[in-house]
């Protein structure tokens, strides 16, 4: 159970958490679902009394998303196997040429590995420090710096 102070901090963090969810999922409906699951999980399971609410909630959010990605991958493999076994050809999606620059950036972001995308989004979009991101993602500071640098380099190459 969360204390009143922790609940207040969680409420204050919802907008940033929502942006983080949207940046992870790339889809507004999925982001809403992810935000709801995150808040439910934090409220149901609580957190340690000495935990930083924002860092804890971002970590919970990221872990829920990673679980969802893994389960989607399993489902996609199953569907792909079923499609191939039935001899049905899959159609490729339109890449959306001619879309606005923001959509180009978003598409390029979605091609980044999840680890790089999460680190870059927390630093560049959410304005978190490298140290905060290190704590949120539970990885060494140097790893955060490396992932952000690789993500920026990869985005620059993709957007040239």
Sign of CA dihedral 18, 22, 24, 25: positive
Answer yes or no: are the C-beta atoms of 5 and 49 closer than 8 Å: no
pLDDT in tens, 128-141: 899 989 988 889 99
Provide CB contacts within 8 A for 121, sequence distance 6+: 20, 23, 24, 109
- In this prediction, residue 91 has a pLDDT band, given cuts at 50, 70 and 90, of very low
Q: How far apart are CA 47 and CA 56, in angstroms?
A: 8
- Highest CATH level, class, for 95-160: mainly alpha
* Residue of higher predicted confidence among 157 and 125: 157
49 by DSSP, 3-state: which?
coil
DSSP single-letter state for residue 139: S
Distance CA 160, CA 18 (A): 29
Whether this prediction's pTM lies above 0.85 is answered by no
* Helix (H), strand (E) counts: the chain: 7, 0
Q: Tokens 């159970």 label which residue?
A: 1
- So where are the chain's domains? 1-91, 95-160
Average pLDDT value for residue range 21-39: 93
Alpha helices by DSSP H, listed for 46-124, are 53-86, 101-111, 114-120
So what's the architecture of 1-91 in CATH?
A: Orthogonal Bundle (1.10)
Q: What is the pLDDT of residues 114-124, one digit of tens each?
A: 899 889 988 88
- Residue 100: the pLDDT is 57
């Amino acid at each position: 159970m969360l204390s009143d102070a922790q609940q207040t901090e969680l409420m204050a963090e919802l907008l940033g958490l929502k942006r983080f969810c949207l940046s992870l999922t790339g889809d507004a409906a999925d982001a809403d679902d992810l935000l709801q699951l995150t808040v439910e999980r934090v409220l149901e399971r609580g957190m340690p009394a000495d935990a930083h609410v924002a860092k804890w909630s971002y970590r919970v959010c990221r872990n829920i998303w990673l679980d969802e990605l893994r389960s989607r991958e399993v489902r996609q493999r199953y569907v792909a196997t079923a499609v191939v076994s039935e001899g049905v050809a899959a159609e490729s999606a339109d890449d959306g040429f001619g879309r606005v620059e923001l959509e180009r950036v978003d598409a390029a972001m979605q091609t980044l590995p999840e680890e790089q995308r999460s680190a870059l989004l927390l630093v560049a979009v959410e304005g978190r420090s490298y140290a905060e991101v290190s704590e949120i993602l539970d990885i060494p500071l140097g790893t955060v710096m490396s992932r952000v640098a690789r993500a920026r380099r990869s985005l620059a190459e993709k957007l040239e």
